Amino acid sequence: MVVVKRKQIVALSLFLMVLVAGYVQYNMKQSSVAVNSDDEKLGDTVYVDGVSTSLKDSSAQTASKEVNDYFAQVKLERDVSRSKDSDSLKAISSDASGNKEAKAQAQQKMLQIVNSTNKENRIEALIKDTGVNDVVTFFGDDGSVDVIVKAPSLTSAQVAKISDIVSRQANVPISKIYIKNIF
């Protein structure tokens, strides 16, 4: 007579349950493939009435891509412009035949560029830390600061938080801070 131990029964029952689950999954997968149309993709939702919607709306995806391109383009243009300005100012300050006053002004302007770049980077990092996806900051010649934020809308609390960050980091009064959202 064959003696079946308790561990063997448990192992056999688990094996049979896995086998049955695999069989059911296989049959359900085949039946769902026949129902779905070829143009639906993984991640699409199908409602009871048969209407299908994608997780990513194409118009929203296009708008988001344009906004991402906008932020990347603005940051690239800002960096290129600063690089050109720094190169020309370095040329002026290193010119041996130039007068001392022009050299001093060029060095002062280079210092302003470096300081404003550092402030902008700090402000952008702190604003991103609040949960904003992307941000660009510009310092105006009149002492104002423009902040462009990637967000569908901004609450008054978010605007206050961004204004506080800019005011503290740039030492600018809140009346000279301009915040705009783009999404």
Domain regions of the chain by residue span: 59-182
- By percentage, how much of the chain surpasses pLDDT 70? 78
Q: Is the pLDDT of residue 55 over 50?
A: no
For residues 137 and 96, give the distance between their C-alpha atoms in angstroms, rounded to a whole number: 36
Q: Is the pLDDT of residue 127 over 90?
A: yes
For residues 127 and 2, give the distance between their C-alpha atoms in angstroms, rounded to a whole number: 73
Statement: 59-182 belongs to CATH 1.10.287.4300 = yes
So what's the pLDDT on residue 152? 87
3-state SS assignment for residue 35 = helix
90 C-beta neighbours (distance < 10 Å), count: 13
So what's the pLDDT on residue 2? 66
So what's the pLDDT on residue 141? 86
pTM as predicted: 0.62
For residues 14 and 90, give the distance between their C-alpha atoms in angstroms, rounded to a whole number: 76
For residues 180 and 183, give the distance between their C-alpha atoms in angstroms, rounded to a whole number: 10
